[in-house]
Structure 1
Amino acid sequence: MKFESFKAGRWQARYQYKSFEPVPVNHEWRWEDPGINALLEQATRALGELNAFSLIVPDIDLFIEMHVVKEAQTSSKIEGTQTGIDEALMPEEQIRPEKRDDWREVRNYIDAVNTAVAELNSLPLSNRLLKQTHAILMRGVRGEHRQPGEFRTSQNWIGGSSLADATFVPPHHESVPELMSDLEKFWHNEYIVVPHLIRAAISHYQFETVHPFLDGNGRIGRLLIPLYLISHGLLSKPSLYLSDFFERNRASYYDALMRVRSSNDLIHWVRFFLSGVAQTATKGRDTFQQILALRNQVEQQLLQLGKRTPNARQALNVLYRKPMVTAAYLEQELRLSHPTVNALLRDFIRLGVLREVTGAARNRLYVFEPYLELFIR
């Protein structure tokens, strides 16, 4: 199938509405547009540079955890949650009651990402894995009663208050199993020659068009991208997430997806997607470089602490995973006494590593601000 002659699907009349029935995607793909080749080369190079950091940076998993938090917060923000990245790091008791539902959705996403990536060690990328991940995402939050972990058995829609005024109506639920089976085969089809980044672009479009779950499709569809890249060896660690790019270009993101359905313009979507990969991978590479520079700077500062330096280094490793902590959390993680941890906290504040942000006498929160700011930019 050539991009230039692609027909995305057809509108099928239903009772009082029409659903969009997309064509299958598990086949060869070709294109004439030279711009795609240039963008594909650029995105592949940037992705390789990002992945190199996963292979050479010591203790890389310390820093990957914050990438996951950033993705969870940003992907959830696209869906309307109002949890900031600093709030996502706080314990639930520190979150205002009216914001806890949003907070739980973000924390569920973090659990879903971590579980799905771990499952790839024993389970291939599959609809089964996506269903398991969806069940975690919906656990105890809005949407928990909307068939968590199962493909939908009723019609859904995007935008509007009902099927009558919807922005887009995905395929009828009876089409979902066959379309998702075709998509799963596309992920693993070794008999077609299609670059993985092109497959990832088409897969995200197709998943969002099928909209196989009653809720949570945007988040699972965006998570599908790094899962695909990890499962096919393009990434060693979950270090590339496109939600930040999609959120900053939200209108263009939705427009690019809709242009495929309304105008068969797959080329526009693929170009947008590849640009996103290139920009996001380059930004991720730069963030890793900034993390390493900060790490060297802080390590030098810790040498001033003399015999307390070993404990300080252990505390710093905790802060790379969770840059907003309480004294009690550090005591638990480091298995150190209350006075020892308080002495460390005073040292870190004096060195400018930590800042206390509550101003309270009890349940104080300390933030590793120079590090956290790298993920807010």
Structure 2
Amino acid sequence: MAIQGLTKLPVKIEITQAIKLLERLAHVNTLLGKLDVELTHSKASKQLMQLLSLQESVESTKIEGSQVTFTDMMESSLKKSDDSDIIEIQNYMRALQFGYESVENGYPVTTRLIKQLHEILMKGSRGEISSAGEFRKIQNFIGPTNRLEDASYIPIEAHLINEYMENLEKFINTDSYGRLLPQNHLKSDGYVINEQAAPLLKTGIMHAQFESIHPFLDGNGRLGRILIVLYLLQQKVITHPIFFVSEELEKEKARYYDLLNGVCGDRSDWGKWLLFFVDASERMATKLLDQLNKANRLLTEGEQLIENEAERKLWITSFEQPILTVAKGVEMTGYSPNTVRKALHQLVDKELLYASNTERRNRKYRNYALLRIFVN
């Protein structure tokens, strides 16, 4: 039988669950701080941010069923593609960038921003007809088929969306006068997680509540995962858009969806979901920190072999675009084709990049050492 019903925020969890969560939060926050420091001191911070954004975009759309890989996206960036999965990933990156710039300019995560992000996500994609940037006007459901009787979860009715989104927005953006949301719906004993809770816990609640409201006909999952990084940026837990959890969520996709459904209905269990979310965040932060450390070591080791500025520029460029052509190198550096071609050949001679002998036209120069770091 499908789960129905959704409680407004704030939420309550068991005391034992709260103790476990609070014990883990300090460690995760330390890891997030190290991530920010690592990127701040990187010579290729802009390039690595682009790479991490692409990795997140691929992993998040993979949860929705996309088969496009990180390497596929690298290849597709060298030519125009009309593949719908590739368009969705490109839209995801555009929405991430728009959201990051909005938060950086002082705009909070609000319903207005959420609708703008949804419009960017849907542009030119398969779901574009699904009222891009507008809340759904009809009932929808989540399940393995297109039949209501097979649904695992039936979200709130369309006429309630604005009311629930207003509640979510107030939870996200704590009242400037310190007024808290009503808690009279929280009947049992336990630990209340309200607007004053730790940012990572609020992030987990925000994501699950948004997914449960399911305000759009399509794109809710992708948008909900974008909101994770935007809210952490808004709360200054991180200062760069580098912390993405989608890869860890995709690894345990069945559990992810089951626990999201578990916060809905009459017997919602927010504690289990939050423990899962914090654990996934810890694993992802650890992995990202390892990737950044390895990438920065690779960059430094390569620079020690480089003899001129053109080589150095192309080497750093390969950290944003690990698969290069001469044309792409010209576009990204502004150097002449002859200068780019010569520098790329020198990087191949130094075994920093690889070029296949079988490719004659539009030869590709691959930073395989970097791809090994970021491709599972």
State TM-score, norm by structure 1: 0.88
Match of 2:211 among 201, 208, 213: 208
C-alpha displacement of 1:358:
9.2
Distance in 1 separating the partners of 2:358 and 2:156: 53
Please say if 1:110 is aligned against 2:93.
yes
Amino acid at match of 1:275: D
Who is 2:57 aligned against? 72
Question: Identity of paired residues, percent?
Answer: 29
Distance in 2 separating the partners of 1:96 and 1:139: 15
Match of 1:300 among 292, 297, 304: 304
Distance in 2 separating the partners of 1:54 and 1:229: 16
Is the Cα–Cα contact under 8 Å of residues 8 and 164 in structure 2 kept in the other structure? Answer: yes
Matches of residues 177-326 of structure 1 in structure 2 within 5 Å? 177-190=162-175, 191=178, 192-261=195-264, 263-302=267-306, 305=307, 309-326=308-325
Is the Cα–Cα contact under 8 Å of residues 53 and 288 in structure 1 kept in the other structure? Answer: yes
Task: Report Cα offsets for 1:86-133 as digits up to 9, x if no partner.
Answer: 111224675887xx1211111111111111111112321111111111
Paired residues, number? 353
Who is 2:152 aligned against? 167
Distance in 2 separating the partners of 1:140 and 1:358: 37
C-alpha displacement of 1:68:
0.1
Who is 1:148 aligned against? 132
- SS of the equivalent of 1:125 reads coil
- SS of the equivalent of 1:261 reads coil
Distance in 2 separating the partners of 1:278 and 1:294: 24
C-alpha displacement of 1:365:
2.2
Who is 1:10 aligned against? none
Where relative contact order (Cα < 8 A, 6+ residues apart) is larger, the structure is 2
Match of 2:7 among 23, 29, 50: 23
C-alpha displacement of 1:54:
3.4
Amino acid at match of 2:134: E
Is the Cα–Cα contact under 8 Å of residues 19 and 172 in structure 1 kept in the other structure? Answer: no
Task: Report Cα offsets for 1:306-334 as digits up to 9, x if no partner.
Answer: xxx11111112221222112111112222
What runs of 5+ residues in structure 1 fail to find an aligned partner? 1-16
C-alpha displacement of 1:247:
0.8
C-alpha displacement of 1:163:
1.9
Please say if 1:87 is aligned against 2:72.
yes
Distance in 2 separating the partners of 1:146 and 1:68: 25
Task: Report Cα offsets for 1:236-265 as digits up to 9, x if no partner.
Answer: 001110000001111121121122225422
Amino acid at match of 2:115: K
State TM-score, norm by structure 2: 0.88
Distance in 2 separating the partners of 1:53 and 1:29: 36
Change (3 A) 1:236 1:18: same
Distance in 2 separating the partners of 1:336 and 1:144: 38
Is the Cα–Cα contact under 8 Å of residues 78 and 328 in structure 2 kept in the other structure? Answer: no
Q: Which has the higher helix share?
A: 1
Is the Cα–Cα contact under 8 Å of residues 65 and 321 in structure 1 kept in the other structure? Answer: yes
C-alpha displacement of 1:58:
3.8
- SS of the equivalent of 1:22 reads coil
- SS of the equivalent of 2:264 reads helix
Moved more, 123-132 or 232-241: 123-132
Amino acid at match of 1:250: K
Amino acid at match of 1:110: M
Moved more, 271-280 or 184-193: 184-193
- SS of the equivalent of 1:320 reads coil
Distance in 1 separating the partners of 2:296 and 2:15: 42
Change (3 A) 1:93 1:198: closer
Task: Report Cα offsets for 1:137-157 as digits up to 9, x if no partner.
Answer: 111110011011111111111
Please say if 1:129 is aligned against 2:116.
no
